[in-house]
Amino acid sequence: MKLDILAFGAHPDDVELGCAGTILKEISLGKTVGIVDLTRGELGTRGSAEIRDQEANAAAKILGVLVRENLEMRDGFFVNDENHQLEVIKMIRKYRPEIVLCNAIDDRHIDHAKGSKLVSDACFLSGLRKVETSVDGESQEAWRPKLVYHYMQWKNLVPDFVVDITGFTDKKIESIIAYRSQFYDANSKEPESPITSRNFFESLNYRSQDFGRLVGVDHAEGFTVERYLAVNSLGDLI
């Protein structure tokens, strides 16, 4: 199956937190989207890997993505080396996306920057014919996504561009609430973490409102890029 967009996250919920609005919008425009989680988030303060799996599947249904896979790398301890790169390359060659979305280039959780670089490096290597991979005994063809965009999570990074997600924020929040073991729940008996506070939860909306305000729309999500963005015409910009 070929996809237009493949979104990677170090942990299940990274994609929802970073770019669910953009994914919902692209799907509404007819694009095909899939998600690949690098780990099962087994070190998360609340819940368990099994609960996270169920939550991730529920969130995928809300978003309307066609596939969601998990590479089962070690939460907290995966590294950006050949073995891990090859696992990511297999996913890129399997789904042949034009656009890859991946973690923030810099963030509080160390897996985010690691996952960001791992996926970005794999996107490059995936385009080299002599990097050989095979799945179920079948060798895969080289494929390099045209564009790699990094979403943002905890830290307030300066975006290189923003996507208008007005009209998609309710569904975005719904996809995040699917991770009910992780986020704000006044009745939870489990330990607190930085993402379990009401403040964190509300910050999701006020950040998208703030990016939106700056470009004259209600809500927007920000992304960074590793190379210049090009447009065919100045009229392409809103």
Q: Judged by CB under 5 A, how many residues of this single chain contact Zn ion? A: 2
Helix (H) or strand (E) holding 14: helix 14-28
Residue 11 as a binder of Zn ion (CB under 5 A): the answer is: yes
> What is the residue-wise DSSP string for 129-191?
TTS--EETTEEPPP---SEEEE---SS-PPPSEEEE-TT-HHHHHHHHHT-TTTS--TT--SP
Smallest separation, CB 50 to Zn ion (Å)? 18
Who contacts 57 (Cβ-Cβ below 8 Å, separation ≥6)? 68
Our CB check for Zn ion shows the closer of 11 and 172 to be: 11
Stretch that binds Zn ion, among 13-21, 73-81, 115-123, 138-146 (CB under 5 A): 13-21
Kindly identify the residues of this chain, within the stretch 141-170, that bind Zn ion according to CB under 5 A.
Answer: none
Residue 217: C-alpha distances to residues 26, 62, 172, 210 (Å): 17, 24, 17, 9
- Residue closest to Zn ion, measured at CB: 11
Contact 178, 58 (CB under 8 A): yes
Per-residue x/- track, 28-67, Zn ion (CB under 5 A): ----------------------------------------
Site string for Zn ion, 14-33 (x = CB under 5 A): x-------------------
Q: How far is the CB of 195 from Zn ion (least distance, A)?
A: 9
Residues at the contact surface with Zn ion, assessed by CB under 5 A: 11, 14
